[in-house]
Amino acid sequence: MQSVFRSAGDRNQIAQRLLAWLTDNLSFFDPPQEDLLFDQLPEQIEGGRVRKAFGELGVALRIVQRVPQLRSMDDAVRLRSFWLEKVKQRNIFFDARRRVQLFPLLAVALAVLEDLGDEPVEAKRVLQNVLDRGMLDRIERSPWHKLDLKYYFDVARLRYRMPDDAALYAQSSLRHPPSLSYASTMDLYGITHLIFHFSDFGRSDLTRLAGEQLDATRDYVSLALRVCLFERDFDLSAELLMNLICLRSHDRDLHWAVTDELQKIQQPGGFIPDRMWLNEAQAEGKRPSREDEFFAVYHPTLVMLLLVACDIDTSSQAAVGHG
């Protein structure tokens, strides 16, 4: 698998600017002090945008950790130190038995800690206790959402009652994808997440699961990517291009067309804008507040960092395989 970027220099420059923007905005990733929240019943506490951003930063750092040249960058080290500090400082696993709506985020956080080498033994015991009740893993969910949870349960080495990958694949939209003429944005996000987690962000070959359908899946993702790029949906475009890395696509012209556009759209500060930010900036002619801008653009920025990390990791794995 060759890089989807025209050059390693372009890719490294993009990564440096992404990491710089993320470190410049660390304060917006800071989650609530969980053990000081008493104005809401624990069962009613939902994730909210700050906890979500914190969890997604952890997901990105977990994949960055796989790539020596990225994880050693000063800003990556600073981000990792911040994230690990805040997990403990904000006591995010506080009352995990009752704050069940936060359980998916806590499972993700435990998986990230597992891979960053700082697993909290007591938190794992508590989360396992919640799972052993047989509630969270038996709730009716789509294969997409089941796999999202299962993937992080597996990384964190938690026991659960969920179908295996083969069963989830057979039930998923990868098996029978929606027509692109009618597919919603959420339908496509479902496709991207399924591919990320079935393939472990490019580290596992999907041939075993998809078999003869793999080529059709690759064609579907390629066409969806062209549509999203035309619509200037850079968040989904980056996710779909990452899917093509996971699917071992070799369409260099398409890859370069997308990464050229992503490189061009990266803002001077380093972030990747989403479509709404671009439309509002053009319509109003003024910048939103720093906080509003952060929550509008942090996700495509993290996705772009994931894309860079997956590209380097997969290219390196392929090089080792041919060595």
Tens of pLDDT, residue by residue over 88-137, are 999 999 999 999 999 999 999 999 999 988 878 999 999 999 999 988 87
- State whether 81 and 140 are in the same domain: yes
* 123 and 254 assigned to the same domain: no
Number of domains within the chain: 2
35, 164: one domain: yes
- For residues 210 and 254, membership in a common domain is answered with yes
* C-alpha span between 57 and 76 (Å, rounded): 11
pLDDT, tens digit (0-9, with 9 covering 90-100), for 186-232: 999 999 999 999 999 999 999 999 999 999 999 999 999 999 999 99
> pLDDT band at 285, cuts 50/70/90?
low
- Does 177 map to a domain? no
Confidence of residue 289 (pLDDT cuts 50, 70, 90): confident
Please identify which residue in the block is written with the tokens 């990452």: 242
pTM beyond cutoff 0.75 = yes
- pLDDT > 90 fraction of the chain, expressed in percent and rounded: 85
**Count of residues in the chain:** 323
What does the pLDDT read at residue 286?
67
Classify 173 as helix, strand or coil. coil
In a shared domain, residues 44 and 81 = yes
How far apart CA 255 and CA 38 sit, in angstroms, is 50
- Which residue, chain included where needed, has tokens 């057979």? 170
What is the identity of the amino acid at 241?
A: L
- Regarding whether 97 and 8 lie in a shared domain, the answer is no
Q: Is there a domain that residue 276 lies in?
A: yes
| Shared domain check, 231 and 124 | no
Nearest to 203 by CA among 4, 304, 67: 67
* Higher-confidence position of 211 and 139: 211
Out of 144, 169, 194, pick the residue that ends a domain.
169
Task: Please identify, among 141, 169, 197, the residue that sits at the C-terminal boundary of a domain.
Answer: 169
Q: Does any domain span residue 176?
A: no
Could you write out the DSSP letters of every residue in 226-258? Answer: HHHHHTT-HHHHHHHHHHHHHTT---HHHHHHH
Average pLDDT, the chain: 93
Confidence at residue 17, expressed as pLDDT on a 0 to 100 scale: 98
Owning domain of residue 200: 1-24+182-323
